[in-house]
Amino acid sequence: MSNVIGIDTGGTLTKLAYLDEQNELKLELFPSNDMELVKEWLVRHPQVEEIGLTGGRTEQLRDVLKTMKSIEYIVEFEATLKGVRYLLEKDGHYIDSCIITNIGTGTSIHHMFNNDHVRIVGTGIGGGTLIGLSALMTGIGDFNEIRTLAAKGNRAEIDLLVKDIYQGMETPISGDLTASNFGKVGITEHVNHNKEDILATIQGLVGEVITTLSIQIAEEKKAQNIVYIGSTLTNNEHLKKVIANYTILKKRTPIFLQDCGFSGAVGALLNISKYNKHE
Ligand code: ATP
Ligand code: MG
């Protein structure tokens, strides 16, 4: 493997990226609340000389690593954008302008245009919200369990759709749009909902809030493509479907990256000057 790696240490997960001898991208994942695991990984990989580092938990990781390795820090949004450009090409998307929505623990939305980018807005609704609401409402706080069960759930008895309100009338907007996430619960007789349905509805809430915001920004910036990234999308076909359906309904093009959670780590890797010189 190369002697340089990139690390993005986020609110929930710490992502690590490097290139192997074949120049193929290799990725590793650690929980951010156990930084010792990163240190152990580095002890097992003594060839690593330099780390490109980014993310909100950078200082905590520095404390754990002490002066073990040379570190080149890059601001999170810069790293994310560098990584997105690389991963877009890797997946065969050749675009130079888009909205980038990063669904991490929280969510932030950026506008990428030509060689520039700017962060537009953020929301506290993100992957952390998905885990938190799921844990509180169903007792399930494990991401993989949540995404698996949500895919088997049905939102129809919990969400209130526009057509549920406009009964027997023509609807002013598409009747299949959500009028109120979880809105049916308060206006129907008490029913016990199963965990799958509740989890699917939570994913609906999180996905729709984030997509609504992203579409608004896309309209404002006249951008056709919205690239959705962040580990909340990892193997999460149900959430991707919520996001894709709504984005398409609003006549924008959703793009999902294969290595959706690793933009920051890849960007931090690409930022290392030594690595750049090798290029
Ligand atoms: P931020 O960028 O907001 O500081 P982050 O970088 O840690 O946070 P991501 O790694 O992009 O954020 O996404 C974190 C979310 O991904 C979690 O909140 C959870 O919903 C989901 N997730 C995916 N895989 C896992 C996993 N193995 N363990 C825990 N959460 C996971
Ligand atoms: Mg992050």
CATH number of residue 20's parent domain: 3.30.420.40
Q: Which residues pair with 119 in a beta bridge?
A: 110
Say whether both 145 and 268 belong to one domain.
no
The low-confidence residues of the chain, meaning pLDDT below 70, are 274-279
Model pLDDT, residue 274: 62
Atom of ligand 1 nearest to the CA of 106: 3
**pTM reported for the whole predicted model:** 0.96
| Per-residue confidence (pLDDT) for residue 277, from 0 to 100 | 47
Q: Does some domain include residue 88?
A: no
Give residue 20's domain range: 4-79+263-278
Separation CA 52–CA 270 (nearest Å): 8
Binding site membership of 128 for ligand 1 (Cβ less than 6 Å): yes
Please enumerate in sequence order all residues whose Cβ is within 8 A of that of 82, keeping only pairs 6 or more positions apart, or say none: 74, 266, 267, 270, 271
| Residues 168 and 47 placed together within one structural domain of the fold | no
Q: d(Cα 195, Cα 205) in Å, to the nearest integer?
A: 15
Structural domain includes residue 202: yes
Domain membership of residue 211 (yes or no) is yes
**Which ligand places an atom closest to the C-alpha of 12?**
1
Nearest Cα residue to 202 out of 138, 108, 266: 138
Decide if 46 is inside a domain. yes
The verdict on the CB of residue 56 being under 6 Å from ligand 1 is yes
Answer yes or no: is the C-beta of 265 below 6 A from any ligand 1 atom. no
Q: Which of 13, 134, 240 to mutate to test the pocket of ligand 1 (most atoms within 8 A of CB)?
A: 13
Strand partners, 95: none
Side-chain half-sphere CA neighbours of 273 within 13 A:
4
Nearest CA to ligand 1 atom 6: 10
144 located within any domain? yes
- Contact (CB, 8 A) for 211 and 247: yes
Do 140 and 47 lie in a common domain?
A: no
Place of tokens 């609807």: 171
Chain centroid to Cα 56, Å, comes to 15
Tell the residue nearest (CA) to atom 28 of ligand 1: 143
Please check whether residues 202 and 140 belong to one and the same domain: yes
Pocket test for ligand 1, best of 105, 109, 131 (most atoms within 8 A of CB): 105
On whether residue 84 sits in a domain, the answer given is no
Phi first, then psi: what are they for 30, rounded to 5°? Answer: -135, 150
In a domain, 132, yes or no: yes
Q: Which of 212, 239, 205 is nearest to 226 (CA)?
A: 212
Q: Are residues 241 and 128 in the same domain?
A: yes
d(CA 51, CA 178): 45
Q: What pLDDT is attached to residue 2?
A: 83
Could you tell me if 150 and 237 lie in one domain?
Answer: yes
Q: Specify the residue for token string 């969510």.
A: 107
Residues 32, 71: one domain? Answer: yes
Structural domain contains residue 87: no
212 and 247 both lie in a single domain? yes
Indicate the residue type of 189: E
Same domain, 182 and 226: no
Which residues are identified as catalytic?
76
Same domain for 105 and 30: no
11 and 59 within one domain: yes
User: 216 C-alpha to center of ligand 2: Å?
Assistant: 22
Query: How far does residue 279's CA lie from ligand 2's centre (Å)?
Result: 26
How many structural domains is the chain composed of?
3
d(CA 2, CA 5): 7
Same domain, 178 and 222: no
Residues 82 and 62: their CA atoms lie apart, in Å, by 22
Ligand 1 centre distance from Cα of residue 254 (Å): 20
Residue 95, CA atoms < 13 Å, CB-side half-sphere: 20
Per residue in 109-126, pLDDT (tens digit) is 999 998 899 999 999 999
Ligand 2 centroid to residue 165 C-alpha, Å: 38
